[in-house]
Amino acid sequence: MQGAVAADARRRGLIADGAEVAVDATGLDSRYASRHYVTRSGYKRFTRLAWPKLTVACHTTSHLLLGAVFGRGPSQDSPHFPAATRQAARLARVGRVLGDAAYDAEHNHALCRDRLGIPESVFRLNPRNTGRKWPQTPYRRAMKRGFPKATYNQRWQAESAISRHKRLLAPFLRSRSRPAQKVESQLRVLTHNLMLLAA
């Protein structure tokens, strides 16, 4: 169904060749009460529980979610990057991938450029990975040498799309079991895209 959505978007001219995609992750609540309310209420045992996590590959122009991977937080963002990016690359001819410092790894650059044929990948360098030293790997060294700040600034489009997603479809999942939450999150992504096409 995601393929049909992407094909329709291409026919309408919403997704062109060389599409720019931004990858980001967000947490979702697993109960109607927000985490802020739970924290203020003093139920500390709830704040230690894992929460549903969604990693998305967002088309920066249309805010269509071309890739989506369900996981559990708290956890690192980078492990879900390959699956989300591969999904996006199957649905569109991606020309550039953007990501914040959580995705700063040479293997993420290599996945985009060497395996998926994406010409450009831009990730903010994580100072904890290198400190003041120059990176030793070629793609990360290129980021250090000439970071394209103006291009990277479009990464906020993913945050905007996630914010819209939560406003339209609520910031919590109604399902309780993990398999049901995964299905619900996938259906939410599909609904998000259909709503954008309908608009």
pLDDT attached to residue 36: 61
Contact 125, 106 (CB under 8 A): no
Q: Name the token pair of 112.
A: 């985009």
pLDDT attached to residue 65: 98
Which comes out higher in pLDDT, residue 109 or 39? 109
In terms of Cα–Cα distance, which of 60, 74, 81, 87 is closest to 186? Answer: 87
Instruction: Quote the pTM value.
Output: 0.88
Task: Band the pLDDT of 2: cuts 50, 70, 90.
Answer: very high
pLDDT attached to residue 149: 95
59 has which bridge partners? Answer: 21
Task: Band the pLDDT of 168: cuts 50, 70, 90.
Answer: very high
Per the rule left: phi > 0, alpha: psi between -120 and 50, beta: everything else, 155 is: alpha
- Of all residues in the chain, the percent with pLDDT exceeding 70 is 89
Task: Give me the domains of the chain, ranges plus CATH numbers.
Answer: 2-198 (3.30.420.10)
Work out the average pLDDT over 90-108: 96
Beta-carbon contacts of residue 69 (< 8 Å; ≥ 6 apart): 54, 55, 56, 80, 83, 84, 87
Cα dihedral: 182, 86, 101, 141 (round 10): 160
**Whether the predicted pLDDT of 106 surpasses 70:** yes
pLDDT attached to residue 50: 83
Reported in sequence order, the residue ranges of the chain that DSSP labels E, i.e. its strands, are 19-27, 51-59, 65-73, 94-99, 120-123
pLDDT attached to residue 21: 98
69 has which bridge partners? Answer: 55
CA–CA separation, 47 vs 60, rounded Å? 33
In terms of Cα–Cα distance, which of 6, 117, 120 is closest to 62? Answer: 6
**Whether the predicted pLDDT of 49 surpasses 80:** no
| Residue indicated by tokens 């993420």 | 108
pLDDT attached to residue 44: 56
Contact 188, 170 (CB under 8 A): no
Helix/strand/coil percentages in the chain, nearest 5: 50, 20, 30
